[in-house]
């Protein structure tokens, strides 16, 4: 938070997208864009494809294998019990438990993965770069070190469509 | 957007040829092995009637949910429902084959069987056909009314017809949920009159929805190849896939729930169905059904990339067409033919019905503009993108 940063503030989607396009043409990119709702051009343009669905898939895969293994261990190896003449490995009846438990595991692990990657934890100081970023304004954040020349260019482009706040 | 479909001469010839093959197979079949032929007749007719019902349900869902993306394609499921009158007549023809298929139609079997006597007020031939007439009557009336409204909308425009269709869609969903469940019980479950399963109707209904949505997508792709539906894009593909994917999961869920509960409770009346099918070819078919109708579509259609690509979708659609056949085969054959016989007769009969269904659907498609002209969601559907 101590780092030097400046923001570009826009009041509507069109001017944001226009400024974003011009910045991209010059090979410049904001470090983060805050919008009240998802904007396709920004999502594509920022180029940060989420990999969380892949993570979720593998959590699901491993939890399915792990849970079935656990139930097999409990009911066949460790403590075999007869239930109404069923085999110890009563596979069809494991599936229901397995589906529900897999959903639980995926939800919790994905939540933790997201929190770790986004560096969010309880009691964290909120990082609000612009007071209206959580409101109806579209905010671009520039926090990396830019050369003087590049910074001027950014300021010029942003000012065409919105306002600069340092 | 005027987009008229005319049946290509080749297609018409091919359809007539297939119908010819079907007629020849059935005639020869009745001389050689009439029971097996009637089983074929039931299977194929049920197959295509369930597609028509699934298509009717598909339109109704789109209206009730006020879905925008599908507005441009709704003439395809509408055309598929045109098979219902044909299917109804063919079902009534089963009057001549009842004794070959349904055990409960035999007087002497009922006399020595307490359970069949108990069920006879419901399961008797007269009431069976009264029900068939009622079911098909209700379906034909509802679908043709919706079709009429839809064609009228083309001429007059306005949102009035949309709301009217929505109203009829609600009625149709309610009626189909009730009648198709009873229809599945009558046509398939009563093949084994001693067997009880409450989930059977639900599973049959989901199978109908699953396979109807694959066929709708398939017909749309074929028409696209012929140069119609120029606006078909990857987002539309993704939405078709979603229907197939969703219905496949729900079908898998029903199928598993039915089996698991019966397996777990282990009551002889219920397990008889599966115990009877637990060896040889039937067991292979049991697993094959799950893999074909749920396993492969579930894994293949999960990623975003594959669910938007036609080269992936078309093999899955063809696989699911086979899946509906194997599922019905698994239900019908052990109860009627008692041995796994698959040969030229089965292929010929299936081809015949395919030709008939294609011809009826294609003829219905020519009768109105392929893209509805004044549907309120048409523009949204054409520009669909996500």
Residues A137 and A102 in one domain: no
CA distance to partner chain B, nearest, from residue A95 (Å): 9
Rounded to a whole number, what is the distance in Å from the CA of A44 to chain B's nearest CA?
Answer: 12
pLDDT reported for residue B89: 94
- Would the CB atoms of B264 and A85 count as touching at under 8 Å? no
Task: Please give the C-alpha separations between residue B21 and each of B44, B261, B354, B355, in angstroms, as whole numbers.
Answer: 14, 42, 11, 9
For the CA atoms of B49, B50, B51, B53, what is the dihedral angle to 10 degrees?
90
| Pick among B260, B286, B307 to test the A interface (most A CBs inside 10 A) | B260
Contact state of B263 with A96 under an 8 Å Cβ cutoff: no
Same domain, residue pair A93 and A138? no
C-alpha span between A24 and A29 (Å, rounded): 6
Please report the pLDDT score of residue A1 as a whole number.
44
Q: How far is B317 from chain A (nearest CA, A)?
A: 25
Given this model, what pLDDT does residue B41 score? 93
pLDDT of residue B373: 87
**Residue B63: exposure state from Cβ atoms within 10 A (0-12, 13-18, ≥19):** buried
Tokens of A9: 């503030």
Give the ipTM of the model, two decimals please. Answer: 0.74
Q: What is the pLDDT along chain A (166 residues), one digit of tens a residue?
A: 446 788 888 888 888 888 888 888 888 888 888 888 888 888 888 877 788 989 999 999 999 999 999 999 999 999 998 887 888 888 888 999 999 999 999 999 999 999 998 888 888 888 888 888 888 888 888 877 777 788 888 888 888 888 877 7
User: Angle at the Cα of B31 (from B28 to B35), degrees rounded to 5?
Assistant: 100
Question: Has residue A122 been placed in a domain?
Answer: no
The count of other CB atoms within 10 Å of the CB of residue A41 is: 14
Number of CB pairs, chain A paired with chain B, less than 8 A apart: 15
Q: Does B111 touch chain A (CB under 8 A)?
A: no
A105 shares a domain with A155: no
- Evaluate whether residue A85 is within a structural domain: yes
Answer whether residue A159 is part of any domain.
yes
Does residue A106 share a domain with residue A63?
yes
Domain count along chain A: 2
Chain A CA closest to residue B258: A92
Whether residue A124 lies inside any domain: the answer is no
Does A82 reside within a domain? Answer: yes
A123 domain-assigned? no
Q: Do A93 and B264 touch (CB under 8 A)?
A: yes
Predicted local confidence at residue B257, as pLDDT: 92
What residues of chain B lie within 8 A of the CB of A96, using their CB?
Answer: 260
Question: How much is the pLDDT for B18?
Answer: 95
**Does residue A97 share a domain with residue A65?**
yes
Give the model's pLDDT for residue B239: 93
For chain B, which ranges sit under pLDDT 50? none
Q: In what order do the strands lie in the sheet with A163-165?
A: A32-34, A138-142, A6-10, A163-165
Question: What's the CA dihedral at A140, A142, A148, A151 to 10 degrees?
Answer: -10
Which domain does A145 fall in, by range? 6-47+129-165
**How far B6 CA sits from the closest chain A CA (Å)?**
40
pTM over 0.80: yes
A112 and A143 share one domain: no
Tell me how far CA of residue B220 lies from CA of B39, B347, B380, in angstroms. Answer: 31, 25, 18
Residue A161 falls inside a structural domain:
yes
To 5 degrees, how large is the angle CA A38–CA A39–CA A45?
120
- Do A99 and A66 share a domain, yes or no? yes
Predicted pLDDT at A24:
85
Contacts of B214 (CB under 8 A, 6+ apart): B244, B316, B317, B320, B321
Evaluate whether B384 touches B53 at the Cβ level (below 8 Å): no
Domain boundaries, chain B: 9-375
Residues 232-291 in B contacting A (C-alpha not used; CB under 8 Å) = 256, 259-260, 263-264, 266
* Domain membership flag for residue A20: yes
């Amino acid at each position: 938070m101590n780092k030097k940063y400046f923001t570009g503030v826009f009041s509507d989607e069109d001017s944001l997208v226009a400024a974003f396009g011009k910045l991209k043409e010059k090979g410049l990119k904001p470090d983060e864009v805050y919008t009240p709702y998802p904007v396709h051009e920004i999502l594509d343009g920022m180029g940060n494809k989420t990999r969380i669905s892949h993570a979720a898939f593998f959590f699901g895969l491993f939890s399915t294998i792990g849970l079935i293994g656990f139930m097999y261990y409990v009911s066949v190896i460790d403590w075999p019990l007869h239930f109404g003449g069923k085999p110890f490995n009563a596979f069809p009846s494991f599936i229901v438990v397995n589906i529900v438990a897999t959903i639980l595991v995926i939800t919790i692990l994905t939540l933790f993965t997201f929190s770790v990657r986004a560096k969010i934890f309880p009691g964290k100081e909120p990082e609000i770069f612009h007071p209206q970023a959580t409101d109806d304004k579209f905010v671009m954040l520039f926090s990396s070190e830019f050369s003087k020349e590049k910074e001027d260019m950014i300021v010029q482009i942003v000012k065409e469509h919105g306002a600069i706040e340092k | 957007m005027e987009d008229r479909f005319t049946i290509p001469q080749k297609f018409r010839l091919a359809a007539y040829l297939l119908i010819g093959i079907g007629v020849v197979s059935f005639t020869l079949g009745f001389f050689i092995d009439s029971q097996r032929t009637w089983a074929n007749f039931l299977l194929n007719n049920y197959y295509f009637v369930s597609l028509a019902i699934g298509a009717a349900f598909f339109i109704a869902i789109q209206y009730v949910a006020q879905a925008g993306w599908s507005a441009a394609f709704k003439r395809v499921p509408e055309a598929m429902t045109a098979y219902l009158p044909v299917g109804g007549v063919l079902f009534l023809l089963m009057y001549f084959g009842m004794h070959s298929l349904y055990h409960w139609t035999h007087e002497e079997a009922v006399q020595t069987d307490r359970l069949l006597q108990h069920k006879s007020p419901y399961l008797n031939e007269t009431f069976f056909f009264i029900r068939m007439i009622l079911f098909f009557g209700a379906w034909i009336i509802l679908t043709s009314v919706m079709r009429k409204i839809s064609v009228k909308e083309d001429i007059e425009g306005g949102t009035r017809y949309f709301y009217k269709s929505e109203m009829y869609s609600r009625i149709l969903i309610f009626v189909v949920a009730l009648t198709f469940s009873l229809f599945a019980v009558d046509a398939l479950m009563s093949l084994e009159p001693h067997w009880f399963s409450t989930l059977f109707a639900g599973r049959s209904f989901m199978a109908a929805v699953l396979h109807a949505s694959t066929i709708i997508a398939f017909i749309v792709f074929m028409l696209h190849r012929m140069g119609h539906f120029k606006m078909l894009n990857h987002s539309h593909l993704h939405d078709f896939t979603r229907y197939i994917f969703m219905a496949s999961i729900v079908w898998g869920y029903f199928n598993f729930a039915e089996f698991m509960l019966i397996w777990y409770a282990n009551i002889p009346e219920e397990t008889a169905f599966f115990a009877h099918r637990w060896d040889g070819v039937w067991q292979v078919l049991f697993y094959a059904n799950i893999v074909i109708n749920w396993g492969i579509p579930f894994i293949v259609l999960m990623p975003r990339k594959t669910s938007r690509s036609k080269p992936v979708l078309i093999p899955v659609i063809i696989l699911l067409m086979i899946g509906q056949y194997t599922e019905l085969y698994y239900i019908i054959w052990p109860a009627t033919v008692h041995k796994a016989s698959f040969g030229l007769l089965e292929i010929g009969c299936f081809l015949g019905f395919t030709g008939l269904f294609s011809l009826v659907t294609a003829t219905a498609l020519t009768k109105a503009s392929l893209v509805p002209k004044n549907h309120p969601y048409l523009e949204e559907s054409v520009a669909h993108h996500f």
